[in-house]
Homo-oligomer: A and B are copies of this chain.
Amino acid sequence: MIDKSYNFQLSENFIINNFLKKLNLNKTGTFNFGNDAAYLNTSKKNKTVVTTDTIVENIDFFSQDPPESIAQKIMCVNLSDISAMGALPKTYTLNLSINSTIDKIWLKKFTNRLSKIQKDYNIYLLGGDISRSREISLTVTCFGESKLKNIIKQNNSVAEDDIWVTGDLGNSYLGYKILKHRKLKIEKKHFNKFKNLYLYPKPCMFGFKASKYINSATDISDGFYGDLQKILNVKFGAKIFKDSIPISVDLKKIMKNNKTVKFSELLSWGDDYELIFTSFKKNRKKLLNLAKKNKVKISLVGKIIKKNGIFDDSLKLIKNISSFDHFC
């Protein structure tokens, strides 16, 4: 997420509701376009979960970004969606629209990073397409496997569910901010650390491991508040334990010294690629053990309530809830 202020009249939400929803013919696997991914009805028990994302030059990345960063981003957005569906990634297709600025060195760096990601997540390239275009644009369609019963839906929470978050939030936000606003007072080691966390985001693949304990999940690509809204889906509200929002010690320090690095902005900025998920209270211990076993940090950050809106610990309204649809 770089530039969301681009002059554009029609929101994603508007386009989906007015033009695309009619095209899903109410088929089950489409989830009515209300999930991070959809599935192919390949067999009764096992489903092929499908997600697809496009990233475009000057919108989602800068053309001078390292090719490794562009590879990391396009794979991360897709793997993260597969995880949010509770599936295990298997393979992917790649559509590469490139212009004459792309040379052999760029392609070598780009594909070497893909190769590394393939090893890390045990996936392979199935096929794809190469096109020429004026601006660089990449589409990846990623395929995962899941048993039907383990597929996680975005809107399956019930009141009193715990709300959990994986990892730390705000790292990508700070990374982007220090790249754009060089005046920020920050130590060299922090500059490099957060720049890299922004350029090389890693998906949290806990969704597949924990799917049987999860009621609803989504990945944080549009910001904690925005993505939490997807889970609440107008039906519910959330009480958030603000002090429990996981923020790294370094980021906390930097926030203290820089008033322009704001807590509220950090929770509205996307690209964390951590998961928000909800679970029954009774699963707490099991989830914490599973997280520990898989070396994933999880934090209990709130609970689902019947009252509409996002509230803080003392039930002060933080955010109104608006309908939030997402084209999977």
User: Which residue numbers of A lie inside 8 Å of B, CB to CB?
Assistant: 6-10, 12, 15-16, 18-20, 22-25, 27, 29-30, 33, 37-38, 40, 42-43, 46, 48, 50-60, 90-91, 93-97, 99-100, 102-104, 107-108, 110-111, 114-115, 118, 124-135, 137, 139, 141, 143, 327-328
With a CB–CB cut-off of 8 A, which chain B residues contact A114? 23
Cross-chain contact A27 with B124 (CB below 8 angstroms): yes
Cross-chain contact B16 with A134 (CB below 8 angstroms): no
Given that A124-B30, A125-B20, A137-B133 are known contacts, is A104 also in contact with B42, CB under 8 Å in the complex?
Answer: no
Cross-chain contact B9 with A108 (CB below 8 angstroms): no
Across the A-B interface, give the 9 residue pairs with the lowest CB-CB distance, nearest first.
Answer: A23-B125, A42-B42, A127-B328, A38-B127, A25-B124, A56-B133, A19-B111, A139-B139, A54-B95
Question: 5 A-B pairs, CB-CB below 8 angstroms?
Answer: A18-B104, A20-B111, A48-B48, A50-B126, A56-B133
Interface residues of A, dominant DSSP: mixed
Chain B CB count within 10 A is highest, among A8, A108, A127, for A127
Cross-chain contact B134 with A97 (CB below 8 angstroms): no
Chain B proximity of A99: nearest CB distance (Å): 8
Given that A22-B115, A59-B132 are known contacts, is A93 also in contact with B126, CB under 8 Å in the complex?
Answer: no
With a CB–CB cut-off of 8 A, which chain B residues contact A60? 131
With a CB–CB cut-off of 8 A, which chain B residues contact A29? 91, 126
With a CB–CB cut-off of 8 A, which chain B residues contact A125? 20, 23-25, 30
With a CB–CB cut-off of 8 A, which chain B residues contact A115? 22-23
With a CB–CB cut-off of 8 A, which chain B residues contact A33? 127
With a CB–CB cut-off of 8 A, which chain B residues contact A133? 56-57, 59, 135, 137
Chain B CB count within 10 A is highest, among A10, A59, A103, for A10
B22, B94, B327: the one contacting A129 at CB < 8 Å is: B327
Given that A20-B128, A38-B126, A91-B40 are known contacts, is A54 also in contact with B135, CB under 8 Å in the complex?
Answer: no
